[in-house]
Amino acid sequence: MLWVIHLISLYTYSQDTLGFTIPKLYGFENVNGDTISNRNYLNDFLKKLESQKKFNDKKINILHIGDSHLQADYITHTTRVSLQKIFGNAGRGFIAPLKISKSNEPFNYQTTSNKTWKSTRCVSSKQVQPIGLSGMSVKTNDKSATIQIKTYNTDSLDYSFSKITLFHGKNDSAYSTVMRDTSNRISFNFIDTNLSFTSKYIASKKVSQVEVQFIKTDSIQSNFIFYGANLENDNNGILYHCIGINGARYKDYSKSTDFCAQTSSIKPDIILISLGTNESFQKNYNSEIFYKEIDTLVKKLKYANPYTPILLTTPANSFYYHQINYNIPLISKTIVQYAKDNNLAYWDLYSITGGENSAILWKKTNLLSRDGIHYSKDGYIHQGNLLTKAILNAYNKYVSNR
């Protein structure tokens, strides 16, 4: 009888756990350490993943906040695609008008306009206009301006959308919006979200390209400040929202006008924070100051999302002025210590990717770019695969131990 029960438990384990193989390992990774520490803190998130896998009954929002390592979306795209192929594709998620602001934009969507917009980012010394969920904003005073949004299908995933939520300035002087399908075949219905900084539209069919137009319905309307848009389909599954701004630090997101408050509007089931590289460029690094900067952002995010677990990640090793950046291990140590002190989950990418001096090995294998700070496309994809593996390791441990 015990033998039969044991066989049943083995069968259940094999059915519930999920396999994932990293396509290529280079020999210097600490794969055995590729786990999320304080995993139990993420149990509510992991439980939702399990429910979605079994019953297809959840739309799960993952919010990942970072710097230039995330802005190009290679890390997050890799993890997004892998998780969506396992748990379901609920859409591309949040996008920012990075190209309209004259910055680099991910390859899986495009934002354009017929006019030039005034832009500001969270890293600006003077934030001359409000900063929202994207960590940046673009502004126009021309009601004839338009915004074109287009998505591209990638890795056998369809990123066309039937729901689009615009995030914008919440003042009375903002123009009203009209959503139009560029083919003029699809109609949109406006849905009131009861949030002054969003406008939501639902299409009669899925589309991959839309145009946002503006109308002046009141004499006081004179501008439009645009933060970004959330693109969804009608399916349950994963929405992986990537917020990345070149040069960003913890304190940059903290000081942004509406950033933390607006994160709650996408109802994140987990928040990942991948920052620290830009803090490491300081000549006189102070761990106490950095610890407080982490604390400020985390507390603001927790205030807006009191029941959402937060996962901190450490930056991988890199160079600075062609020498090993010896502040990176100090930064990583502070992040890990903060997570431990505050009972957060953390993923120690610094140790997982080889730790001290590992940037030399990453450069030899063409995983690091010429500047020694950023990684090559293959390097970012590799980090995305490592993150996917860590999340699925945590998932497998949850479903096998509950």
Of the three residues 206, 234, 262, the one that is the final residue of a domain is 234
Rg, C-alpha atoms of the chain: 22
Query: Which has the closest alpha carbon to 64: 308, 376, 369?
Result: 308
Percent of the chain having pLDDT more than 90? 89
Domain shared by 70 and 171, yes or no? no
Which of 87, 79, 3 lies closest to 399 in space, CA to CA?
A: 87
The chain-wide mean pLDDT, for the chain, equals 94
- Domain boundary, last residue among 218, 234, 250: 234
Asked if residue 288 and residue 152 are part of one domain, the reply reads no
Residue 7 lies in a domain: no
* 125 plus 220 within the same structural domain: yes
Judgement on whether residues 155 and 274 belong to the same structural domain of the protein? no
Are 314 and 349 members of one domain? yes
Q: What is the CATH number of the domain that holds 339?
A: 3.40.50.1110
- With beta carbons less than 8 A apart as the criterion, state whether 89 and 238 touch: yes
Is 185's pLDDT higher than 90? no
This prediction has a pTM of 0.95
CATH assignment at residue 99: 2.60.120
3-class SS letters over 139-197? EECCCCCCEEEEECCECCECCCEEEEEEEECCCCCECEEEEEECCCCCCEEEECCCCCC
Q: Identify whether 3 is part of a domain.
A: no
pLDDT digits (tens, 9 = 90+) for 89-115: 999 999 999 999 999 999 999 999 999
Domain that holds residue 161: 94-234
What would the pLDDT profile of 2-23 be if each residue is shown by its tens digit?
Answer: 333 333 333 344 469 999 999 9
Structure-block tokens of residue 149: 């949004």
Residues 219 and 257 occupy one common structural domain: no
Residue 376 has pLDDT above 60, yes or no: yes
Q: Does residue 6 lie in a domain region?
A: no
Residue-level pLDDT at 34: 84
- How do residues 137-184 score in pLDDT, each as one tens digit? 999 999 999 999 999 999 999 999 999 999 999 888 999 999 999 877
- How many domains, in total, are found in the chain? 2
Q: What is the pLDDT of residue 184?
A: 76
Q: How many percent of the chain have pLDDT more than 70?
A: 96
- Residue 24: is its pLDDT beyond 50? yes
